[in-house]
């Protein structure tokens, strides 16, 4: 089993991802340039990471151009065959633009770039990213985005709730999901979701920036630990 971290022009969390997966978790991890047309050497026992950043300068819409990079055809095929795909921040936006995840990420309600530590609540344990967390568990994870306001129509939100596809919601330090803790205006305070088949995951906060004590916060570690275990079991 191995991890592949896609690098687009403008990705800036790719090295953080390689560091966390490769050095902190000790997993085989390689970078994949977006111009590659195939995921050669990867099987659905492996995992593809779409990292954060500003792919193509966020032109047109965040993720809209990256979604048509040559490698994305293979990533879509990989996901449709059941391979694990995890997108963080810009990666989440790209996966939504590629229709691997439902909904879209709109400009933050207050028009500001938000860069701070926020609290998120794990909503399920039925996903690789959340299996190491108990439902209701609160994590402090940094966010850094201008387009993070999750939006989907009512029917889609109903389905997400119904199918237990909501991974994380923004909350306060005590785990209360309320208006005051909804910093970007996301529908239902949604911070992360998965697809119906539970093999594609996306979240706006950055757990890769909070996965070792030297950074003063290890809350994100469990997310990758759970994912790595699930990928290993799939193999």
Partner 1 sequence: MKFIAHINIMPKTELLDPQGKVVVKNLPNLGIQGVSDVRIGKHVTIALEAPSEQEAHDKVELACSKLLANVIMESYDFVIEAQ
Give the nearest distance from C-beta 92 to partner 1 in angstroms.
Answer: 14
C-alpha distance across the termini of the chain, in Å: 6
Closest to 217 in 3D by CA, of 158, 164, 140, 151: 140
Q: Does 179 bind partner 1 (CB under 8 A)?
A: no
Contacts of 4 (CB under 8 A, 6+ apart): 29, 30, 31, 32, 39, 42, 46, 47, 48, 49
Give 116's strand partners.
143
* Shortest reach from residue 145's CB to partner 1, in Å: 14
**Binding of partner 1 by 233 (CB under 8 A):** no
Under rule CB under 8 A, residue 185 binds partner 1: yes
Site size toward partner 1 (CB under 8 A) is 18
Angle at Cα 151 formed by Cα 145 and Cα 155, nearest 5°?
160
Q: Is 196 in the site for partner 1 (CB under 8 A)?
A: no
Question: Least Å distance between CB 61 and partner 1?
Answer: 6
Nearer to partner 1, 60 or 215 (CB): 60
How far apart CA 206 and CA 195 sit, in angstroms, is 19
Tell which residue, 177, 195, 180, has the closest CA to residue 99: 195
Q: Min. distance of Cβ 179 from partner 1 in angstroms? A: 14
- Which residue out of 13, 47, 89, 194 is catalytically annotated? 89
Which pair of tokens denotes residue 73?
């055809």
Q: Which residues from 95-134 bind partner 1, rule CB under 8 A?
A: 97, 103-104, 106-111
110, 108, 80: which is closest to 93 by C-alpha?
108
Does the annotation mark 206 as catalytic?
A: yes
For partner 1, which is the closer residue by CB, 37 or 110? 110
Establish if 195 lies at the interface with partner 1 (CB under 8 A). no
Of 93 and 122, the one with the shorter C-beta distance to partner 1 is: 93
Cα–Cα distance for residue pair 221/5, rounded to 1 Å: 17
- The SS3 of residue 45 is coil
CB 71 within 8 A of CB 34: yes
Is 87 an interacting residue with respect to partner 1 (CB under 8 A)?
no
73 binding partner 1? (CB under 8 A):
no
Residue number with CB closer to partner 1 (3 or 170)? 170
Q: Quick check: is 208 catalytic?
A: yes
Q: From the CB of 65, what's the least distance to partner 1, in Å?
A: 7
- The set of catalytic residues is 89, 206, 208
Positions touching partner 1 (CB under 8 A) are 60-61, 64-65, 68, 97, 103-104, 106-111, 151-153, 185
């Amino acid at each position: 089993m191995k991890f592949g971290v896609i690098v687009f022009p403008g990705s800036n969390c790719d090295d953080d991802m390689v560091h966390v997966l490769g050095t902190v978790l000790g997993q085989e991890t390689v970078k994949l340039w977006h111009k590659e047309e195939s995921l050669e050497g990867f099987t659905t026992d492996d995992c593809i990471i779409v990292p954060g950043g500003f792919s193509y300068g966020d032109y047109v819409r965040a993720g809209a151009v990256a979604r048509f990079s040559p490698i994305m055809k293979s990533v879509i095929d990989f996901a449709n065959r059941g391979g694990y795909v995890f997108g963080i921040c810009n990666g989440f936006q790209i996966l939504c633009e590629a229709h691997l995840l439902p909904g879209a990420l709109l400009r933050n309600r207050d028009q500001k770039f938000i860069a701070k530590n926020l609290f998120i609540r794990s909503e399920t344990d039925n996903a690789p990213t959340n299996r190491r967390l108990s439902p209701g568990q609160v994590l402090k994870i940094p966010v850094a985005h201008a387009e993070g306001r999750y939006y989907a129509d009512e029917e889609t939100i109903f389905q997400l709730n119904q199918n237990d596809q909501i991974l994380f919601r923004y909350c306060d330090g005590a785990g209360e999901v309320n208006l005051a803790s909804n910093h970007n205006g996301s529908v239902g305070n949604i911070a992360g979701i998965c697809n119906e088949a539970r093999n594609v995951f996306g979240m706006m906060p950055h757990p890769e920036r909070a996965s070792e004590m030297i950074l003063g916060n290890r809350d994100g570690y469990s997310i990758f630990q759970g994912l790595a275990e699930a990928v290993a079991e799939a193999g």
